[in-house]
Structure 1
Amino acid sequence: MWHSPPVRQAADQPSRRAFFGATAAVAAAGLTAGCGPEIAPTTIAPVPPTGRFQAGIVAPQEAQTNVLVVVADLEDGVAIGSLLAELGKAVQALTAGTDARLLGFPSGDLTVTIGIGPRLVRMVDPALPGAVDLPEFAHEQIPPQARGGDLLMQICANDVMIPPIAAAALLDHTSNRLRERWRQSGHRGSTIPVDQGRTAPRNLFGFTDGIVGPHTTAQQQQNLWLPGPSPVADGTIAVIRRMNLDLPRFAALPIPVQEEIFGRRRETGEPLSGGTIATDPNLNAKTPDGRYRIPADAHIRRAHPTTAGVNLMLRRSYSVNDPAPGLLFISFQNDIQTFTKTLTHMTNGDALLSFTTTTATAPFLILPGFDDTRPLGSTLFHT
């Protein structure tokens, strides 16, 4: 849900109020959020926050159940390099469970992924990947406050309590240097096994999301991670989009019509061209009477990389219920045109888009990985 920027007040009281207000809201939510499965803290493996790549993209392999994205702007005069380095240290403390602002909760498999928006990238070099804003597309109703932003914090965990607590801690840590634009929480629904220990979640339409993508190391090297130039090498480009879904109108359709819109079987996730859920769709397959088994306007045809003429993107989809039933879509790719060309191709004939309205969007350069000797953001900014 997007929010207007908070009104700043004197001294350092706002950050404390924001922090304790947020954590109080989390505690209240915990009294009513007992619908999800409980996972014992001892069963959750921690995810190292440092390394060649940032955590929260391909590590862990199976995306956590809960996500919170926070998009913010930098206040004027903020030293970007120092802020990012401090955020990196805060992420290390939070994921290690040593930050008192976790309020006694175990950090579990918490990951925090940090990205910077095009304005900040252009301050370094307008020719760098990540310097380009997204164009406007059809099926959008986006207020100015929910378009773009300077900084992304993607916070993931299997424990539903952890992302908002971690977000409050990070925003408190950046006291008066960041101004929040919008935030959105999301949850992965029930999943379907795909292959090699990989699963994919169902969306609110009842269909499976995120099946096609760069899932092997070789595919990720080719399609996901930036090869250079050196300041951005081992980063990636993220696109965040929140969409409202017209559930009543879609649910009123017969199941075969729903399946033709997606191009997959609703129950199994297998493409209409046959095979299993892991089978690449055969876009040339036809029925005996000459019709395409996957219709010309089916989502998996219009979004498929071969028909859009692009590389693979790694997609993470989460269901949202506030402010309306919908989808939080996050894609990672090493070329922004992988996303823009795909969406343009979808806009020109994807039957699914008539059931969606995008209400927030932003692109970000996900920074390269960091460690104790290489602070977060140090390849781009001086501390």
Structure 2
Amino acid sequence: MKKLETNKVSRRDALKLIGVGGAGLLIGATGIEAATDKVTNFFSPAKADAREILPFYGKNQQGITTPAQDFMYLASFKLETISKSDVKTMFKKWTEAAALMSEGKELGDSEFPSSPPIDTGEATGLQPMKLTFTFGVGPTFFDRLSIQSSKPSGLKDLPHFPGDDLREEWNGGDIVVQVCANDQQVAFHGVRNLIRIGRGTVSLKWMQHGFQRSSGADPTGSTPRNLMGFKDGTANPDTKDEKEMNTHVWVQNGDSPAWLSGGSYLVARRIRIRVEEWDRSSLQDQEQTFGRHRATGAPIGEKNEFAKLDVKKTDDNGKLVIPADSHVALARGKGKIKILRRSYSYTDGLDIQTGKLDAGLMFVSFQRDLEKQFIPLQDKLAKMDLLNEYIEHNGSAVFACFPGVKNGSYIGEGLL
């Protein structure tokens, strides 16, 4: 990475560096130049453990079929330029930075005390902790850069669903970056440095942090639980099944446009849980709402989390065992619509207007086609799901995530 040039030091700054009254650095034969010598690294960063590195370059972007890490930052940006050249330059810098940070490397040496450090430094000496970066662009990206002809026909803002209570501060965006890692400080370091690099070209529109149970708390890597206490992601397609991923997640050759082949569509929905109301509901009501047993994650009436889901099964009285308007019954449908859920819980402290907790789910899903997969699924859930009594959707955004990046290339090269 290109290193920052030294800046001239003013007399006032020099006095600050050397101290006044002889208490600071003494000026000898070398004069003020001594105060602007390169900064010496006082320790060498620990060598990154290869087991903690997920390669940035590849056919598809990391952070999609990657096993979900413990922490996430989802950042939405607004373009502050209409220049394709400016955005292209930023994408190149982001690519270089993401590749370095994914390997646990700093962005450069901080050589001159009179200049801002190249790297913000909070991840110095830390392992990369399976850090990943996932980049995408929203519907408005193409309008702002006057490249509407390259816009995917299916990349549109989601329609208004029944019960939506969307707030502008959590909606949309021109560019998205998802940063995930098994350490929150490492993840924050990743997104913070991209924000810093992008200043002047983009500004932050919104950012949501998220978490799951840590890999230390659950070494088996079982299905994570949401803040309602239920397992979330049981019905996901198998990310190790290439055919499943090509069918449901990755945009294919022949899908329009060509630059998106190998990419995926990201849906982000900020879903606030009415925690206090949920906590007052009975276990029976909670399980009827989800259609699963809380303890095991199994469908009601079954013992195994991954038992076959039979939404038509009845009890001795002819009553459906799993309510038809339960979350799992509606999400399952006929079993033909599948999306890859990669959601994280969030807590944002106290809502000072209501005096209640602001906590919930930062829902993230990846799919090959928004119109054929997510939209019909969410439309059905929004109209009938028992869960709607306890949740509200207050943020929504969609993005087209680029295919993977080849070494020597940069994110979005096929587009810009």
Residue of structure 1 equivalent to 2:383: 348
> Structure 1 residues 304 and 121 mapped into 2: Cα distance closer, same or farther (>3 Å)?
farther
Residue of structure 1 equivalent to 2:3: none
- 2:95 is aligned with what amino acid? G
Provide the rounded CA distance (Å) in 2 between the counterparts of 1:119 and 1:293: 45
Deviations 1:4-59 (A, max 9, x none): xxxxxxxxxxxxxxxxxxxxxxxxxxxxxxxxxxxx97495211111010001112
Residue of structure 2 equivalent to 1:217: 242
Residue of structure 1 equivalent to 2:79: 74
Query: How many angstroms does 1:259 deviate by?
Result: 0.4
Of 364, 367, 390 in structure 2, the residue corresponding to residue 333 of structure 1 is: 367
SS in 1 for 2:310: coil
Residue 342 of structure 2 corresponds to residue 316 of structure 1: yes
Deviations 1:120-167 (A, max 9, x none): 246343662552111122332222232110011100000111121111
Provide the rounded CA distance (Å) in 2 between the counterparts of 1:254 and 1:42: 46
SS in 1 for 2:260: coil
Query: How many angstroms does 1:78 deviate by?
Result: 3.4
SS in 2 for 1:226: coil
Structure 2: segments with no counterpart, 5+ residues: 1-46, 108-118, 350-357
Of 305, 310, 314 in structure 2, the residue corresponding to residue 286 of structure 1 is: 314
**In terms of Rg, which structure is larger?**
2
Contact 1:189-1:318 at 8 Å conserved across structures: no
- 1:350 is aligned with what amino acid? D
Residue of structure 1 equivalent to 2:135: 114
Provide the rounded CA distance (Å) in 2 between the counterparts of 1:373 and 1:41: 22
Provide the rounded CA distance (Å) in 1 between the counterparts of 2:333 and 2:244: 13
TM-score computed with the length of structure 1 as normaliser: 0.82
> Structure 1 residues 129 and 234 mapped into 2: Cα distance closer, same or farther (>3 Å)?
farther
TM-score computed with the length of structure 2 as normaliser: 0.76
Query: How many angstroms does 1:351 deviate by?
Result: 0.2
Contact 1:94-1:102 at 8 Å conserved across structures: no
Of 122, 125, 131 in structure 1, the residue corresponding to residue 155 of structure 2 is: 131
Q: How many matched pairs?
A: 335
Residue of structure 2 equivalent to 1:264: 292
Contact 2:139-2:151 at 8 Å conserved across structures: no
Deviations 1:246-282 (A, max 9, x none): 1221121221111010000000000114251112311
> Structure 1 residues 121 and 301 mapped into 2: Cα distance closer, same or farther (>3 Å)?
farther
| Aligned-residue RMSD, C-alpha | 2.3
Provide the rounded CA distance (Å) in 1 between the counterparts of 2:334 and 2:180: 31
Query: How many angstroms does 1:177 deviate by?
Result: 0.7
Residue of structure 2 equivalent to 1:3: none
Structure 1: segments with no counterpart, 5+ residues: 1-39
Bigger shift: residues 82-91 or 108-117: 82-91
Residue 62 of structure 2 corresponds to residue 49 of structure 1: no
Residue 302 of structure 2 corresponds to residue 274 of structure 1: yes
